[in-house]
Amino acid sequence: MEIRKSSTDLYAAYKETTQKAADLNNASAVLGWDQEVYMPAKAFEIRGRQLATLASLAHEMLTSEQYGNLLQELAGRGDLTDEQKRNAALSFEDYSKNKKLTPAFVEAITQQTSASYNAWIQSRRENKYSIYAPELDKMIVLKKQQADMYGYEKHPYDALMDEYEKGATVALMDAVFGDVKEQLPALLHKIKQAQQVDDGFFLRNYPKQQQWDFSIEVLKAMGYDFEAGRQDMSEHPFTTSFAPSDVRVTTRVDENNFSSLLWSSIHEGGHALYEQGLPIAQYGLPLGAAASLGIHESQSRLWENNIGRGTHFWKYFYSKLQQYFPQQLQDVSVDAFYKGMNKVEPSLIRTEADEVTYHFHVLIRYEIEKGLISGELYSEDLPETWNAMYHKYLGVSAKDDKTGVLQDVHWAHGSFGYFPTYSLGSFYAAQFYNQAVTEIIALSNDIENGQLTGLTTWLRGKVHQYGRRYTSEELCKQITGKGLDFSVFMQYAQQKYAGIYGFE
């Protein structure tokens, strides 16, 4: 006679398997972090093999027949807690999706990611897109295969976006970016007609160490726990997490452009606070992971823009910054500094773009990705297409490949479908910050006195603690009472830039 296992035993077996797979994925993430921060150039080939092995092992664990049977058994039990039910249900969704990818495909795309990243690094060093193009071609082929394996109803790009933003479709994003194309140009036009603000003081010489030290001070004020994280340098700023107790950020420095490091650090610090705020008791389980990339980006954009580029923040931190750079900023008032940091001007580099033009940068990448995955665009056409679209939307053209098509690492990583979450994040951020101001009565005063952790605590309770319990839309409705609303971002942007540029 077969002995029926208790729900407690079944859940314990499920948890053990899921967390072991997380251990493998996080070991892989450590190697990935090392690859982008410290790894010597000759290590790329073997590192690609190591990453592929770990990814393949984790994939096999989470797609095994035994694991699938375990999840199905759990689904039939009625005595699980709400948390246990939600974890098991989300894991079954993940299992069903992962099952569609063969181990051979997982290994192939992991190895190709390493090869593409290496080619991207070399291309940037030599400022030559042609070095990267063949490896990017291989990645695009694999991403098309992945979309086909996952399946989709209307557009192959839907399957890839769903990886980062559950439920996102081309139809939805076309509507969102339709609002961008319809409403943002009018604001940009008003700004162009106004007298331009001065940001020349940002281009003075700011020694690396002082920039670094100030960024550390700001991260600490935000509540970033340096006993559970660290900051390093990388080619492209990023955040990586191995557990809430080990979350790392990277940034980059330009001694002749102060804005390059600080806001990257604040941005990545927002991501890191989210990861450090996830419940460690749910390590490796869905409720211990971020809701979506759009929500993740809302945390970084809220800290970078609503806080780090806001007036309240600098009423406290500007005098501290002047202590680090007394000569560079002795003739710059806090008002001039605030206006300069929020200068709106069409430019080439997405990560350094202002809040208004930023969304045209994302729109361009979204439209290019759609075309590459649908087969309407080819990799060899990218430099020309890139420049044409930048001229169309922003009136600028890249002077070379490094400032153009080679500026982002995402395609080298195979992260097709990721870019739209950047704009979604900004729009969610506007709603969340608007709600925080309503609920935390003394928030503005607290920020003006350098007290930032009250906002961190609010975000812990409203966003971080839930993990993947809710979709982005569900979470937004729970926090603000309604789903994604582009008009909140537009109201915020119009009010902010009318004050900076002096128009109605």
Residue 4 neighbours by CB under 8 Å, 6+ apart: none
C-alpha 113, offset from chain centre: 18
Coil, strand or helix at 497: helix
User: Is 504 annotated as catalytic?
Assistant: no
Q: From CA 304, how far away is CA 262, in angstroms rounded?
A: 9
Confirm if 292 and 165 have CB atoms less than 8 A apart. Answer: yes
Confirm if 103 and 120 have CB atoms less than 8 A apart. Answer: no
Q: From CA 109, how far away is CA 447, in angstroms rounded?
A: 45
User: Given phi > 0 = left and psi -120 to 50 = alpha, else beta, which region is 417?
Assistant: left
Confirm if 409 and 157 have CB atoms less than 8 A apart. Answer: no
Q: From CA 157, how far away is CA 369, in angstroms rounded?
A: 8
Q: Which residue among the candidates 36, 107, 165, 268 is catalytic per the annotation?
A: 268
For 18-27, b/e burial (b = at least 16 CB within 10 A) is: beebbbbbbb
Cross-strand partners of 249: 231, 239
Query: Active-site positions?
Result: 268
